[in-house]
Amino acid sequence: MVAALTPLTRTLERTIRWTDAYSDPHGNAPDDRPQGAVLTYDEPQVEVAPLIEAQPVTAPVVEPAAVPEPAAVAEPVAVPEPAAVAEPVPVPEPAAGPVVVAEPEGSAELGGYAELRVAGQIGVTGNPFLYAQRVRPSLEIAPAEGALAGRLKAEAVLEATLTEGRDVGKEVSDTLLASEVGDLLTLAGCAYSPEPRYNSISDVLAVERLHVDFNLESLDLKIGRQAIRWGSGLYFHPTDLYAEVLLTEPWREPKGINAIKATVPINGSDVTAVVAVGDDLSPFFQVAQGTAEELKFAELPLSAALRGTLRLPGVDIAAIGLAKADQSWFVGGDVRGTLGVGYWVEGGWHGPTDEVDGYGEVVAGLDYSLPLLENFYIAAEYRYDGSGSAPEDYDYASMLSGSLPFDCPMLPSAPTVARTSLGRHYIAGVTRLVVTQDFNLQAAAIVNLADGTAMLVPGAGVIATDRIAVNVSAQIPVGSDGEFKPADSALQYTLGTASVDLTGLKADATVTGWVRYSF
């Protein structure tokens, strides 16, 4: 019963967070770009992120000019009397002994941003507003002189987030408990055990980046918590092997991965190898402390990936492979180039696991820019997901991971990894009109080709000052009886003589706005 109630929760989560696709802070490194960020080959002078935001401003480090040593001479040289000038400049005598000049030993750059985000849902019962405050400072340190100058860099990024207001899981649970079905859940031994929004400091504060970069002539080495972003797709990235799918939160930067990444350049092309460790390090501590009982290699959060990229005129061709300790694997490729228009093809085969059979996944897309006003950009992408289902077989419960706080012995456990989509065939698109350097308009959409439902996302962004950016957007589900907009009947349930109606929790639309101050 609880599993059958999940389409609403996922729909509400999607409409709350699927807000301002492609808004990417100015200055993000390629590895930090959100999965919705648009990359083009045809507009080098135009910001690739369609929702323009303020760029952090950092004062350059100015090094004092070196004072030269006085030249050594064999014999004293007579210095002629200076010519008469209006304002003679006195020349100090050189001090005895060598001249010591204080040089900076390193440079540090502090940046980041603070953000306030407000979302409101239309047509829902309960609290319709969600508030999120976010601060994301970053620090970059590098030596300014010596053999390591320009070759060594360390970076740290923290993120503090405080969310208040609407809690979708709580709204659903409260509605269930207040209905006749709530009494049946209690009789069946389904205990209501809600978790607070914040259990520990890690729910508020996170280390998003903490790594050291070594840039050598024949090797680039990055060690620590870092972003690893592979793939050329617009929305979906089959070859992004450490993907954190941000379909419902395309505005957010991806979380860091604990990894060692080595890149070897080869005549303009390169080979990249990655060894990564998951966030749950408890198995390693158990081994170190001798408390592990029959710990298997497959239980370790280990993975390794290899990517080789061949760069030719007008096109990049990459081959990718991944293997994990749990015996899951992936092989695939990625092609990106220009041929009158920009194009990309990306995909591969996911090997079978204990939970799912092997399946293929492919995306292909085109993009183009026109000199309309400042710039007009248009892109479209098709996706095939072999793990998806036909509309009549949608499993909405698979899109949740413990969202309903009920402990029911008779019900199956929620999946440890929630699906981000249900169907097999999708088409996605985005248009962006840069009206001025400080203002743009855009519209994005994802359509499920099998059931005809879609999510439309119109939006506008403006740079108010050098440090302040403002964005407003909406999410509008359209269609009926499908993934993005389930039918009302799918939210009305009966269990024996008991019934519950959850249609009041389904939003007709969601409007989101945010203000960001970059420092």
Alpha-helix residue ranges (DSSP H) falling in 80-125: none
pLDDT of 499 > 70? The answer is: yes
The distance of Cα 215 from the centroid of its chain, to the nearest Å, equals 24
Task: Tell me how far apart the 2 most distant CA atoms of the chain are, in Å.
Answer: 114
**Lowest mean pLDDT segment, chosen from 80-94, 99-113, 285-299, 300-314:** 80-94
pLDDT of 394 > 60? The answer is: yes
pLDDT of 274 > 70? The answer is: yes
Strand, helix or coil at 350? Answer: strand
Q: Can you spell out the DSSP letters for 393-440?
A: G--GGGG-SS-S-EE-TTSPPPPSS--S---SEEEEEEEEEEEETTEE
pLDDT at 170: 80
Residue 84 domain-assigned (yes or no): no
Confidence of residue 179 (pLDDT cuts 50, 70, 90): confident
Alpha-helix residue ranges (DSSP H) falling in 224-360: 282-289
pLDDT digits (tens, 9 = 90+) for 138-174: 999 999 888 888 899 999 999 999 999 998 778 877 8
pLDDT at 413: 57
Residue 92 domain-assigned (yes or no): no
Question: For residue 430, what are the β-bridge partners?
Answer: 379, 444
Residue 102 domain-assigned (yes or no): no
Q: Please give the residue that has the higher pLDDT: either 417 or 519.
A: 519
Mean pLDDT for the stretch of residues 60-82? 42
pLDDT at 136: 97
At 7, which helix (H) or strand (E)?
helix 6-17
Report how far residue 29's alpha carbon sits from residue 321's, in angstroms, rounded to the nearest whole number: 23
pLDDT of 41 > 70? The answer is: no
**Lowest mean pLDDT segment, chosen from 9-13, 56-60, 232-236:** 56-60
Report how far residue 258's alpha carbon sits from residue 228's, in angstroms, rounded to the nearest whole number: 10
pLDDT at 167: 86
Following CA atoms 139, 140, 146, 149 in sequence, which dihedral angle do they give, to the nearest 10 degrees?
-170
Residue 407 sits at the vertex; the CA angle it makes with 16 and 169, to the nearest 5 degrees, is: 10
First to last CA, the chain: 49
Q: Can you spell out the DSSP letters for 148-188?
A: TTTTEEEEEEEEEEEEEE--HHHHHHHHHHTSHHHHHHHHT
Domain coverage including residue 235:
3-55+108-518
Residue 489 domain-assigned (yes or no): yes
Identify residue 199 by its one-letter amino acid code. Answer: N
- Give one word for 201, left, alpha or beta, with left for phi > 0 and alpha for psi -120 to 50: alpha
For helices 168-177 and 6-17, angle between their N-to-C axes, nearest 10 degrees: 150
Mean pLDDT for the stretch of residues 440-447? 96
pLDDT digits (tens, 9 = 90+) for 306-333: 999 999 999 999 999 999 998 899 999 9
At 517, which helix (H) or strand (E)?
strand 509-518
Mean pLDDT for the stretch of residues 419-443? 95
The distance of Cα 300 from the centroid of its chain, to the nearest Å, equals 25
Residue 408 domain-assigned (yes or no): yes
Q: What is residue 65's DSSP assignment?
A: P
Q: How many residues does the chain have?
A: 519
pLDDT of 42 > 70? The answer is: no
Would you say 233 and 320 are in contact if contact means Cβ atoms under 8 Å apart? no
pLDDT of 59 > 50? The answer is: no
Residue 85 domain-assigned (yes or no): no
Residue 246 domain-assigned (yes or no): yes
* Average pLDDT across the chain, whole number: 79
Confidence of residue 420 (pLDDT cuts 50, 70, 90): confident
Would you say 436 and 463 are in contact if contact means Cβ atoms under 8 Å apart? no
Strand, helix or coil at 144? Answer: coil
At 8, which helix (H) or strand (E)?
helix 6-17
* Total number of domains constituting the chain: 1
pLDDT digits (tens, 9 = 90+) for 191-228: 777 778 888 898 999 999 999 999 998 999 999 999 99
Report how far residue 364's alpha carbon sits from residue 342's, in angstroms, rounded to the nearest whole number: 11
Would you say the pTM of this structure is higher than 0.85?
Answer: no
Domain CATH number, residue 437: 2.40.160.10
The two three-digit tokens of residue 265, written as one number: 């350049």
Residue 47 domain-assigned (yes or no): yes
> In the block, which residue shows the tokens 């061709």?
317
